[in-house]
Amino acid sequence: MVIVVPAQYHERPSLAKGFKEMPDIGTKGFVAPDMGGWVAGAIVGNEAVKVVVAGPKATETNAVSLLKEAIKRHAA
């Protein structure tokens, strides 16, 4: 799932076990485990982009890769 909302709605689950800051992705970038999957997000300009991956093949790497691709495509 990919979600784009105004930047003021950006939510960082910083208290989640396994939360990691991703300073190389946008502003306030992060990745964290989420209900058996992974969530990643960042502020880019005036918007926040968030992705969620779930299922047996969901990984931190997949979430970060999807976030980077979503940001790239949204900017285009």
Domain-located, residue 15: no
Domain-located, residue 14: no
Q: How much is the average pLDDT of 28-36?
A: 95
pLDDT cut 90: percent of the chain above it: 92
- Decide: helix, strand or coil at residue 2: strand
Domain-located, residue 16: no
pLDDT (0 to 100) of residue 39: 98
How many independent structural domains does the chain possess? 1
pLDDT at 69 over 80: yes
Q: For residue 19, what are its two tokens?
A: 């939360």
pTM: 0.94
